[in-house]
């Protein structure tokens, strides 16, 4: 199924990609497109982490959000979708909220790369700390809500982020832990739109492309190792 990909990157790199184990924490607008892109480009060992059910409000941006899937567990629907794309993929699904108490359920596995696409600050901080301490490669998605310009998205270092309220909070918390800000993140330089309530707005192009950017970054990182 990877004939066309093999033509451009070569068989040895397909095999290299297939051997890696990637964990994705958070299966929303960003995380969903991370999973989709990774699977369609050869990843065959994947850990998906999320404790949410699909809601009708997810339909504007989440690839698994359909009338037929509302109310179902995201990890279950993603497992089915992944297997429908490539039956050879080894899927480990963790239907849980990842925190200090549950992190052992993730880190008991041999992981090559962690992709943080969750929304919870404490979980993001924990993942950064654990990946650094365990010498696991990782990338963390910052904020894509209230933004409409996909051309302002970039893979950068946390220390270089601007106009990203979530990244500002993460920088502050990371500084308190004396951890270097020289870590990989996906961020947008666009000033967020001001809205009337606290629930973030979402233009699906931005989180979806953010997920594709992250997956591309990880795939290229594996190829170039």
Q: Which of 159, 21, 145 lies closest to 89, judged by CA?
A: 21
Burial class of residue 197, CB neighbours in 10 A (0-12, 13-18, 19+): exposed
SS3 category, 101: coil
Helix ranges (H only) for 89-204 are 103-107, 121-134, 165-176
pLDDT of residue 192: 94
pLDDT of residue 54: 98
Q: Could you tell me the CA-to-CA distances from 159 to 106, 164, 174 in Å, in that order?
A: 27, 11, 10
At residue 131's C-alpha, the angle toward residues 100 and 158, to 5°, is 105
Starting at the edge strand found earlier in the chain, the sheet holding 21-25 runs 90-94, 45-49, 21-25, 113-116, 137-141, 184-188, 153-157
Residues of the chain with pLDDT under 70: none
Q: 3-223 sits in which CATH class?
A: alpha beta
Q: Which residue has tokens 């925190």?
A: 99
Q: Which residue has tokens 């794309």?
A: 85
pLDDT of residue 195: 86
Q: Which of 121, 97, 91 lies closest to 22, judged by CA?
A: 91
pLDDT of residue 196: 81
């Amino acid at each position: 199924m990877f004939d066309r990909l093999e033509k451009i990157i070569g068989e040895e790199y397909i095999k290299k990609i297939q051997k890696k184990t990637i964990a994705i924490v958070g299966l929303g607008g960003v995380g969903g497109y991370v999973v989709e892109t990774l699977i369609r480009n050869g990843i065959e060992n994947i850990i998906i982490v999320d404790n949410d059910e699909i809601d009708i409000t997810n339909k504007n941006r989440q690839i698994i959000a359909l009338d037929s899937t509302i109310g179902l567990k995201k990890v279950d629907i993603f497992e089915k979708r992944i297997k429908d794309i490539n039956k050879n993929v080894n899927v480990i699904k963790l239907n849980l909220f990842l925190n200090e108490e549950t992190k052992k359920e993730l880190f008991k596995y041999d992981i090559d790369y962690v992709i943080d696409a969750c929304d919870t600050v404490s979980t993001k901080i924990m993942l950064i700390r654990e990946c650094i301490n365990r010498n696991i490669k990782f990338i963390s998605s910052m904020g894509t809500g209230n933004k409409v310009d996909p051309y302002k998205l970039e893979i950068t270092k946390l220390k270089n982020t601007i106009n990203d309220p979530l990244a500002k909070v993460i920088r502050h918390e990371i500084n308190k832990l004396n951890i270097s800000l020289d870590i990989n993140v996906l961020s947008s330089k666009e000033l967020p739109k001001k809205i009337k309530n606290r629930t973030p707005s979402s233009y699906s192009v931005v989180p979806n492309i953010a997920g594709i950017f992250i997956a591309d970054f990880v795939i290229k990182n594996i190829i170039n190792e």
